[in-house]
A and B are shown apart, each in its own frame.
Chain A
Amino acid sequence: MAEQIVFYILATGVLLGALAVVVPPFARNPLHAAVALLTTFSLMAGLFVMLSAHLLAILQIVVYAGAVMILFVFAIMLLNLRKQDFSPAKITAWKILGAAAAFLIATRIAMVAGAAVSTHTAVDLSLEQYSTFGSVHDVGIALATKYLLPFEITAILLLVAVIGALVVTRRQGGLR
């Protein structure tokens, strides 16, 4: 029972944070949207713990709530947008169409998923398994054996991303 209460509190917080990022009245100012996003990411880490994904919960805080948020806040402050840079919210046909398309996709996914998993229950982990499930040890072994090639490619991807970000933001004609 306590688990359900925690789940619904966390889920409500995550959804409210996500909505505050997207829905215009709350998110006129990008910095407010960034704070709402931070709420979503932090509460999401709690949900990860409930799924016994302990390593990923820590990484969620470190990578998303830490590194990614710092990048967003840096970009917002570097851009130094003024009030007139935010065009007022306009409801166009495209937006309604887009929202309707997203809603249809969501209901379709929910229908397929609901039909497939309505009778599915969690695997009962033994107490010993439960203490190691999702730990650094287990996930590390998966990363270093079965997923070694994707792991190495990810390292190259990060290197390319760093160099790409430097090249894209470089001013023409070298440093000034």
Chain B
Amino acid sequence: MTNIPLSHWLALATALFAIGTIGVITRRNMLIALMSLEIMLNGVGLAFLAFARFRGDVSVHAAVFIVMAVAAAEVAIGLALAIAMYRNNGSIDLDQASRLKG
């Protein structure tokens, strides 16, 4: 049914994961770092779904569903932390968050 080889899907998923990794490592704005994290999770989800389609196993979709819920929880906590950090430091620069004392 699908004419696109699995390697193309995996290449796309890997590229997304790499772009997300670069964002998390290099960007200092906490909001952008969180967005990059979402890109990474989405790339992983795409790889999962590609394997699900090529193996004809629908139960993998449940795993992606759970990853989605975890991503939503992660972004809620992350943005709450960003707001708390802005209140304490006056900035959301991750390099300035090296001080643990609140």
Contact B22 A98 (CB under 8 A): yes
Interface size on A, residues (CB 8 A): 90
Residue ID in chain B nearest A113 by CB atoms: B10
- Contacts from B to A (Cβ < 8 Å): 1-12, 14-23, 25-29, 31-32, 34-36, 38-39, 42, 45-46, 49-50, 52-56, 58-59, 61-66, 68-77, 79-84, 86-87, 91-93
Give chain A's interface residues, CB within 8 Å of chain B. 1, 3-4, 7, 11, 14-15, 18-19, 21-22, 24, 27, 30, 33-34, 37, 40-41, 44, 47-48, 50-53, 55-56, 59-60, 63-64, 67-68, 71-72, 74-76, 78-79, 81, 85-87, 94-95, 98-99, 101-103, 105-106, 109-110, 113-114, 117-118, 120-125, 129-130, 133-134, 138-139, 142-143, 146-147, 150-151, 154, 157-158, 160-162, 164-166, 168-169, 171
A21 B77 Cβ-Cβ under 8 A: no
Name the CB-closest residue of A to B19. Answer: A18
Residue contact B7 to A117, C-beta cutoff 8 Å: yes
Q: Identify which of B8, B39, B55, B92 gathers the most chain A CB atoms within 10 Å of its CB.
A: B39
Q: Are A142 and B1 in contact (CB under 8 A)?
A: no
Taking CB atoms, residues of chain B closer than 8 Å to A3 are 2-4
